[in-house]
Structure 1
Amino acid sequence: MSLSTSFIDRIGVLYRSFMQHDAGQTDRIKRYRNIEPDSAYYIAMMIRIQQSKKILEIGTSTGYSTLWMADAALVTGAQITTIEIEPSRSAQAQGYAKELDLAQCIEFWIGDAQEFLQQDQQHYDLILLDAERDAYVSYWPDLQRLLNPKGGVLIVDNVISHAAEVKGFISKVKQDSRFMCNTIAFGAGLFIVTYKS
């Protein structure tokens, strides 16, 4: 049903093509900058363990992490909302989701993440933050409002590979006594946040 051989094979091919694209780009913004496979696998496990129902992804890019989460969402009955400011990248992700028969559990939202976060009123069981890191501090008030206070988990990517860029955000989270958090060394580093109670 999920994590089929066909899914694993296709997601592997996609990741290699994304990496090949990035290797040919000197401009960081033009790179796809997808999450690493072991981080994606870990998040897919988290969705299954948590039995997530509402998932938010900030930073779709070409959909590599979205596809991993959607494969898990089919198991838990979850719905994913994924945000991407670049229409062409969202279109790529939508194409892959249709190809892998995962589109039914994904809502693709195109636009500025700050705008979405400020107007959204839902609670999410799992939020994956993998976007422009200089915006994370400004996202934080809305992220804590949208995170389900009963077991919701926020996962932030690239916190080891780009430690200096997320230092202020991590410091702000750690100063809030309502939360417990930890960094784990998967991929480029994942920062995990949840309410204490």
Structure 2
Amino acid sequence: MDTGAQWSDVDDYLAGELVAEDEALVAARELGRERGLPPIEVAPNQGAFLALIARMAGARRVLELGTLAGYSTIWLARAVGDQGHVTTVELDPRHAEVAQENLSRAGVGDRVQIEVGPALDVLTGLADAGTEPFDLVFIDADKANMAAYLELALRLTHAGSVVVGDNVVRRGAVVDPSSDDPSVQGARAFLRGLGSDPRLEATALQTVGSKGWDGFAVARVR
């Protein structure tokens, strides 16, 4: 058996043992496929991991960058509870429409606001407007701008808030300082920012699984 197949099989096993992926979550992923969205949403065990982080942080206000079909959004919206709120930012209006369908089907549409547009513009607008701080920020939009998203996230959080950055290992390419891939350079700048900013304490982990070889970073605002 090749390594990639083993990784996926282990993910399937872990999800089967530990993750309660209900019909609404399955339908969210399937509708994304039907509408031609790229199959790049988090895996079920990763969605459950995000929800656990949100619950452990006591998050009631969550900011997500990169909605896609709303799969991870459903996990986060359920984690904040019926008195919580999720603001999720999506560049593509078609994706936002699919996500809205999925969120409504999952029964969490009333606690989620989808902001359509470039994330840098949306976040700048939220920060300039003095939006109430978020307890958790999940950065899963275009990787080239990750460092800029981090700076804006720090304007939109408070002491004790958690910042999670996805896809920071890039199949190992993150170690190459000469890479001409904007996503690799964006991930490197993001990690450099996490490690050098005195306002943050952070770490990052490699992951393997159905999404391949990648990783995520987690930071806490001091």
Query: Which of 24, 31, 40 does residue 33 from structure 1 map onto?
Result: 40
Shift of 1:13: 4.6
Q: State the AA in 1 paired with 2:123.
A: L
Instruction: Output one character per residue of 1:23-48: Cα deviation in whole Å (capped at 9) or x when no partner.
Output: xx8xxxx6242122222111111122
Q: Does 1:105 align with 2:111?
A: yes
Q: TM-score, normalised by structure 1?
A: 0.83
CA contact (8 A) 2:66 2:88 kept: yes
Unaligned stretches of 5+ in structure 2?
1-18, 175-183
Unaligned stretches of 5+ in structure 1?
none
Q: Which moved more, 1:179-188 or 1:42-51?
A: 179-188
Describe the SS at the equivalent of 1:125.
Answer: strand
Shift of 1:127: 0.4
Q: State the AA in 2 paired with 1:87.
A: P
Rounded to whole Å, the distance in 2 between the matches of 1:36 and 1:185 is 15
Instruction: Output one character per residue of 1:137-191: Cα deviation in whole Å (capped at 9) or x when no partner.
Output: 2223211111222x10000111123552111220122111221101134564220
Query: Which of 102, 106, 130 does residue 96 from structure 1 map onto?
Result: 102
Stretches of 4+ aligned residues off by more than 6 angstroms: none
CA contact (8 A) 2:89 2:117 kept: yes
Describe the SS at the equivalent of 1:60.
Answer: coil
Q: State the AA in 2 paired with 1:83.
A: V
Q: Does 1:58 align with 2:65?
A: yes
Q: TM-score, normalised by structure 2?
A: 0.74
Rounded to whole Å, the distance in 2 between the matches of 1:43 and 1:64 is 11
Correspondence for 1:158: 167
Correspondence for 2:152: 142
Correspondence for 1:11: 25
Rounded to whole Å, the distance in 1 between the matches of 2:30 and 2:190 is 31
Q: State the AA in 2 paired with 1:156.
A: G
Q: Which moved more, 1:132-141 or 1:50-59?
A: 132-141
Rounded to whole Å, the distance in 1 between the matches of 2:139 and 2:34 is 22
Q: Which moved more, 1:82-91 or 1:179-188?
A: 179-188
RMSD (Å), alpha carbons: 2.4
Instruction: Output one character per residue of 1:43-83: Cα deviation in whole Å (capped at 9) or x when no partner.
Output: 111122222111100110111100111121226x2100000
Q: State the AA in 2 paired with 1:124.
A: F
- Structure 1 residues 139 and 55: alpha-carbon distance in aligned structure 2, compared to 1, 3 A threshold: same
Matched residues, percent identical?
Answer: 22
CA contact (8 A) 2:31 2:98 kept: no
Describe the SS at the equivalent of 1:109.
Answer: strand
Q: State the AA in 2 paired with 1:118.
A: T
Rounded to whole Å, the distance in 2 between the matches of 1:87 and 1:194 is 31
Aligned residue pair count: 183
- Structure 1 residues 140 and 50: alpha-carbon distance in aligned structure 2, compared to 1, 3 A threshold: closer
